[in-house]
Amino acid sequence: MHITDILPKEGWAELEREIHQRFGLSAHAYDTQGATFTGAHNWGNALCPALRQSATAASTICSVVNQVMRAEVAGGQPALTECDAGMLVTCVPVVVDGEMLGMVGACGGFLGPEACAESFLIEKTSGLTEDAVEELSKSVKRFSEEQAQAVTDYIAGRVAEIINTYKARKA
């Protein structure tokens, strides 16, 4: 079974847009390999797309946290952490009848009032200057622990609705 068996690609893209509009974060649905598949890009800030433009930053920061989150949610529970760039990442597994089909996540905010971009790592992997990182970081929204948990809970609720709708159609 594939994640698009329970909801078409366009439906997952709509969920990504919904999460982005509601919380101002980058949102993605991932397949079992951890790859995005909708083709949508809902950037929550200006720093993340600048990181993704660098193959080194994308593989050192984004790909690593994606792999970590995929392993963490494999047990069936949502996860909330920070990426190596210093921004929050939350993921919810998509599990149907015990089979993990993928995950839905959101990222790109600072977690807590003191959080900031990990400038040294970002500079070394992306080629951005310290001033550029500082300027791009101004677009990163701040989240309290409670707000970040609310994002996770919202995504988990929506994923549960999607799975329940799928199961009802199959019954």
Contact 64, 84 (CB under 8 A): yes
Q: What is the pLDDT of residue 171?
A: 83
Structure tokens at 131: 């001033």
Mean pLDDT of all residues in the chain?
95
Q: What is the pLDDT of residue 41?
A: 86
What's the Cα-to-Cα distance from 27 to each of 1, 105, 111, 171, rounded to whole Å?
23, 6, 16, 30
Q: Write out pLDDT tens, residues 126-149.
A: 999 999 999 999 999 999 999 999
C-alpha 120/C-alpha 117 separation (Å) is 9
Amino acid, single-letter form, for residue 56: T
pLDDT greater than 90 at residue 45? yes
The half-sphere exposure of 94 on its side-chain side, counting CA atoms within 13 A, is 28
3-class SS at 110? strand
Task: List the alpha helices (DSSP H) in 24-144.
Answer: 47-52, 55-57, 63-73, 119-126, 130-137
Contact 110, 143 (CB under 8 A): yes
Q: Write out pLDDT tens, residues 113-132.
A: 999 999 999 999 999 999 99
pLDDT greater than 90 at residue 100? yes
Number of DSSP helices (H) and strands (E) in the chain, helices first: 8, 5
Contact 88, 121 (CB under 8 A): no
CB atoms within 10 A of CB 14: 14
CATH architecture of 9-170: 2-Layer Sandwich (3.30)
38 confidence band (pLDDT: 50, 70, 90): very high
